[in-house]
Chains A and B, each alone.
Chain A
């Protein structure tokens, strides 16, 4: 498996799209930090990039890479290599590459300009989010043989997690606004890794706003060290769950 990771990395590090991604992230982070006089405002603008662009690029890049490597994966399957090792090898390779891109493009500027605990939470959330969407991309990829269909599924997943889920959640909140919903919301947030990542950063960033209103409940929960560990664990489940399903499918898949 290590060899496969090594060779995937060798291939991806020469990939122009990945390079473009790094440049995009760097430009937006340096740009946002330099345009805003206030560092914390730069970070909050960058949160949009973190919650929208990072998942989108992660899932699309991975899906496209998977389908472009389809024949190569076939060739690897024809070699005396275990299927699980092949898939996990490619997964780790893509994951490491995208994480590296994230840390160069966003990690570096955040550490340089911010360097506070908020910044670190920001980077931790971003890393987990990257891995979650790489996992989801593998799931989307093994579900179908057709590249267009695979990319379609990937886009739908992204759309669902960044927008549709929250929209439904807001409607549920409106519909049941007579009931105390905070605990339910905490539970529902576990169903969306993007929300979890956002909450983790937000609690460090907009702490005064969240302390008010009913935000106190979220803060009590996610602000405690138990809550943070809980949120991270759920994120890790979000990393592990799609890829393990993908693995099960891939093991029996007809290539």
Chain B
């Protein structure tokens, strides 16, 4: 590839000519190259040329490079700080940063705007976009693109980190997004609007409003991301169907993760932890249907899952550990099932706001279950009722949380076990597991 450095001199030649000349030069200067290498070079040079941006050379700005570039070219940017504002990438090029060059937006507007298909942005440090309440300013803004790859960049102090509007197909992976602004000013880390078939992998997002935000984004995959310490949600779904998110970690976000007005979502192997606060949930589900929640861990959240207006949601093999409240399921949920989950160390396992229940619990492990298993089928002989009296009291009288674990609260719960009619909620696990369920 060394040879390609010579391309600068022939950049103004027509494409067909330049390829030929390039070939000739290569032959004359590097006679010793093997045939294979030659062929390889021939192939690459056929697909793309390379342009290098470097301070002190003729091409010392990205703008110049982009003017020179044609579709399919590779623009290599060497390490330096480049000041850009609304830099328009309207050709199908790959922008590759060498040794983390910095694109500084000087707090004015967007840093990069991509409007062309087949664009790759890789290896940059993008910082200081403008902040505006009226227009969404972003580190990387993609509009109506197709096949966009945004890889291994670092975005600092950008209002929105990566903003995709009406984009089809793309990969956003390995990016680090660090917001440093307050909740009012900051935008979302990765923002998708009317986009589909986007893979979001291995990103690390913190300090934004929402870590990842989906609105009308469909057929996307979100996996192995870490979204923590964001002001609002770690992940926020609105009207985005048929998406999958797996192996992500959502930690210490203002209000946890919210999935709303959506169907056909697959949520597996994620970790929701330490989302603390009076309106904070590990996972908030609102008007969700036909979705799967499996193999996730909910740990140390004020509420593990909050479900409102959900139906046909299947929760299986999840671990609910040390939450204040594992599951809060409002009475307007129906046909949801909880199978083979572990409930351990939660202050309360379940609460609801009505006495009728149209959901189904079976085969879960509840550490508070005190029944026995005489027929040795590894299922408790008596049903487990996960809604306890004192949680009902707190439901009606929130400040009663103050008396949690007092002798009186324990007596009330014991009394309720002896006389179950005291706080009747029609919610049972008829086959509680006697043992912790291994995945």
Contact = CB atoms under 8 A, between A and B. Distances in A.
Contacts, number: 113
Contact of B399 (A40, A51, A181, A195): A181
A234 B245 CA distance: 50
Contacts of A84: none
A186 to B, nearest CB: 9
Nearest to B274: A208
Contacts of B409: 166
B405 interface: yes
Given A209-B401, A218-B402, A51 B278 contact: no
Interface string B396-409: 11111111111111
B408 A163 contact: yes
A38 B276 CA distance: 22
Given A41-B367, A182-B399, A206-B347, A212 B406 contact: no
Nearest to A36: B367
A212 B278 contact: yes
B399 A214 contact: yes
The secondary-structure label for the interface of chain A is helix
Contact of A206 (B393, B394, B404): B404
Interface residues of B, number: 37
B407 A210 contact: no
A115 B348 CA distance: 25
Nearest to B299: A208
A185 B399 contact: yes
B400 A170 contact: yes
Nearest to A189: B402
Chain A contact patch, size range: 35 or more
27 contacts: A41-B344, A41-B345, A48-B407, A51-B407, A162-B407, A163-B407, A166-B403, A166-B407, A170-B393, A170-B408, A177-B397, A177-B399, A185-B399, A185-B402, A194-B406, A195-B402, A206-B405, A208-B300, A208-B322, A208-B324, A209-B325, A209-B348, A210-B401, A211-B276, A211-B277, A212-B280, A214-B278
Interface of B: 274, 276-278, 280, 300-303, 322-325, 344-345, 347-348, 367, 393-394, 396-411, 436
Given A166-B406, A177-B399, A211-B280, 16 more contacts: A38-B367, A170-B397, A177-B396, A177-B397, A181-B399, A194-B406, A195-B403, A195-B406, A199-B402, A206-B347, A206-B405, A208-B276, A209-B302, A209-B323, A212-B401, A213-B401
